[in-house]
Amino acid sequence: MKCLLLVAHGSRRSASNDEIRKLATKLSARAAGSFDEVSCAFLEIAQPSIQEGIQQLIDRGAHEVVVLPYFLSAGRHVAEDIPREVRAKQAEHPGVAVRIAPYLGAAEHVPELLLALAEG
């Protein structure tokens, strides 16, 4: 079972966290063939945490988890904090493959997406 965990920063505004949860649901609906399950987790402030999110997927049977940072820049959160959380959980479950995908801001097609938005 291969799963995707969308990881956002987490906000004091619950509407922002709900926006992430809705996005994970949208991803889930489109992930057929790529991922058996998609959920989300938060680096700070909101729940579940990254470690909790990975654990929930493992409890549901994941043998492979892809962690996708929903971040725009390669700051400390992307470079250090997310990898640290993932390593800690990976160490507890050496039989599960946990991989971190590139963060959103690094996506090749971001410029096209932005131009499409701007052109309206």
> Is position 105 an interface residue for a second copy (rule: CB under 8 A)?
yes
Give the N- to C-terminal CA distance of the chain in Å, as an integer: 39
3 state DSSP class of 42: strand
In this structure, how many other beta carbons lie within 10 angstroms of the beta carbon of residue 50?
23
Task: Supply the minimum distance, in Å, between the C-beta of residue 96 and a second copy.
Answer: 16
Alpha-carbon gap, residue 60 to 33, rounded angstroms: 18
Among 7, 15, 46, 52, binds a second copy (CB under 8 A): 15
Binding segment for a second copy (CB under 8 A), chosen from 15-23, 42-50, 53-61, 85-93, is 15-23
> Is position 96 an interface residue for a second copy (rule: CB under 8 A)?
no
- Quick check: 65 and 37 in contact, CB under 8 A? no
Among 14, 63, 97, 102, binds a second copy (CB under 8 A): 102
Alpha-carbon gap, residue 88 to 93, rounded angstroms: 9
Alpha-carbon gap, residue 6 to 11, rounded angstroms: 15
> Is position 27 an interface residue for a second copy (rule: CB under 8 A)?
yes
| Residues within the interface to a second copy (CB under 8 A) | 4, 6, 8, 11, 13, 15-16, 19-20, 23, 26-27, 30-31, 34-35, 66, 68, 70-76, 99, 101-102, 104-107, 109-120
